[in-house]
Amino acid sequence: MQTRSMITALIATVLSATVFGDDNWPQFRGHGGLGIGSGNPPTEWDIQTEQNVAWKTPIPGLGHSAPIVWGDRVFLTTAVNSETDDPLVETGWSGVEGESATDSGQWTWQVICLQLETGKIQWTRDACVGEPTIKRHLKASHANCTPATDGEFVIAFFGSEGLHCFDFDGHLIWKHDFGKLHSGPYDDPELEWGFASSPIISNGHVIVQCDCLNANFVAILEIKTGREILRIDRDGEVATWSTPLVVTTEDRQQVVCNGYRQMAGYDLKTGARLWHLNNGGDVPVPTPLFANGLIFLTNGHGRSPTYAIKPTATGDLTPSNDESENIGLAWWQAGDGSYMPTPLVKGELLYTCNDNGRLTVRDSLTGDLIYRQRIGTGSQTYSASAVAAGGHIYFVSEQGDVTVIEAGSTFSKTAGNDMADVVMATPAVSGDRLLIRTIRNLYCLRTNPNAGAVD
């Protein structure tokens, strides 16, 4: 059995090689979806006085996708409405009954490339124009999926409006149409909430998770051609809004998917299901994590469990009761999970902030509770996932309040910052830069920046 010191040494080696090796942030929550940055971005800034604001670039339309970074370029997506420059988006507890937005007019789905140093827009490409196939939730947008890049291609997913591949100069390389992807609550199929699972890239392949009311599958495509080479059936799953994860260990390479009826790991080459469990929350949103030798899964709505799964697990891992043990589970908790934000593992600690701002910190190896603390004022809500860099963790509320805490076993608030706008997107970190997207602008925050603001 591995000792804690051995595991800690292994963690440090792996993180140094795979996460801290560069300042790129190539997908939702960066390298491996871990949300860990490589540098020391500022912990304090002022939007009004522009203290530690390197630049601010207005972004047209409405999009909740996070920015990604490769080299000197930033990519993100948006959807622009033909009839209004300010589409309605709800925050807080409004819209929680599940109503769809009543937008009218056509939309243009766009991919935008900006210069990292100055924030100047290098190019904008229209991926699709027309009326949306599926309506959006009042809190959602028609551009929820964060793009992904491998340094050569940029992959943008717009759900029913297709999967698009561009090169770094903005040339469309290919498009793959999956048809109508109806995302909404399984117990009320008349409602339409929009698609949100982001694409990931692994070893020359694009992987997308399409759990919807009318289709349930994971598709694996060649990144150079868009040819679909494998489709993994997830028959019977409800709609999910979670991004998949590839986990590579010594004897396995598996794609892990969140879900309600099928939280599961699948062999990446054959699609065979390796393990599964069910009966979690029935609106799965958070992305799986692989850190400290364990796979972490949580979801919410109705129930909110947290699972720490061994990557060697096989078969049905579903606990039979609250006291049961399973050889494939390192530990699990029936509560303290997350409905919307994806948790974060930093060092040996698992940080789980729910959409109501309740932060629970546990030992990631044992599940032992370290502390609980309310983030923000108690009335704020959270859709964005936390990110970490330079010994600090950043939590951004929908109302635009950014709480910065020190990573560690005791709660210590470093700073509070106000973005003065609604924030639904997860931040990105690139070296000493923190990129935060509000519903109107993309900000680059940097200590003592040399670059000026972009009007």
What structural domains does the chain harbor? 4-90+103-446 (2.130.10.10)
The whole-angstrom distance between residue 453's C-alpha and the CA centroid of its chain comes to 28
The pLDDT tens digits of the residues spanning 313-360 come to 999 999 986 555 689 999 999 989 999 999 999 999 999 999 999 999
Element (H, E) at 18: helix 4-18
For the record, the structure tokens of 126 come out as: 């229209």
- According to the model, what pLDDT value does residue 95 have? 53
In angstroms, rounded to a whole number, what is the distance separating the alpha carbons of residues 311 and 288?
12
For residue 159, give the 3-state DSSP assignment.
helix
The b-or-e profile of 319-351 (16+ CB within 10 A means b, else e) is beeeeeebebbbbbbeebbbbbbbbbbbbbbbb
Residue 309's DSSP bridge partners are: 295, 329
Query: How far is residue 109's CA from residue 124's CA, in Å, rounded to a whole number?
Result: 10
- Kindly report the pTM of this predicted structure: 0.93
* pLDDT per residue as tens digits for the range 432-450: 999 999 999 999 999 987 6
Within a 13 Å sphere around the CA of 259, how many CA atoms are in the beta-carbon half?
28
pLDDT for 30: 98
How many helices (H) and strands (E) the chain has is answered by: 1, 33
The predicted structure's pLDDT at residue 279: 86
Which residues are 89's β-sheet partners? none
**Cβ contacts of residue 197 below 8 Å, gap of 6+?**
145, 157, 208, 209, 210, 211, 240, 241, 242, 243, 244
Q: Which of 47-56, 106-115, 397-406, 445-454 has the lowest mean pLDDT?
A: 445-454
Read out DSSP for 193-256? ----PPPEEETTEEEEEEE-SS-EEEEEEETTT--EEEEEE-TT-----PPPEEEE-SS-EEEE
Mean residue pLDDT across the chain? 92
